Amino acid sequence: MGWHYRKSIKVGPFRINLSRHGVGHSFGNRRFHIQTTPDGRRHLSVRLPGGLHVTKTLGRGRTRHYRY
């Protein structure tokens, strides 16, 4: 069983996202939104009238190397 933690703090148009994986941040409004995840990936999201929602991942981010 895994555990999850997520907390968001809104500061004006910016949002700081805290999770068990690290700290991410996002910027935007309902129509246009850019998010950076804790591992460095960036997501661009655009919502258009009529329910159309387009999301694009920009870059690959940092790769993590796990030791077992």
**Which tens digits make up the pLDDT trace of 27-68?**
998 899 999 988 889 999 999 988 899 999 987 766 655 555
Confidence band of 20 (pLDDT split at 50, 70, 90)? confident
Percent of the chain as helix, strand, coil, to the nearest 5 = 0, 55, 45
Mean per-residue pLDDT for 14-28?
91
Measured CA to CA, the distance from residue 5 to residue 30 in angstroms comes to: 24
20's torsion region: left (phi>0), alpha (psi -120 to 50) or beta? alpha
Every domain of the chain and the residues it spans:
12-58
Measured CA to CA, the distance from residue 9 to residue 17 in angstroms comes to: 7
47's torsion region: left (phi>0), alpha (psi -120 to 50) or beta? beta
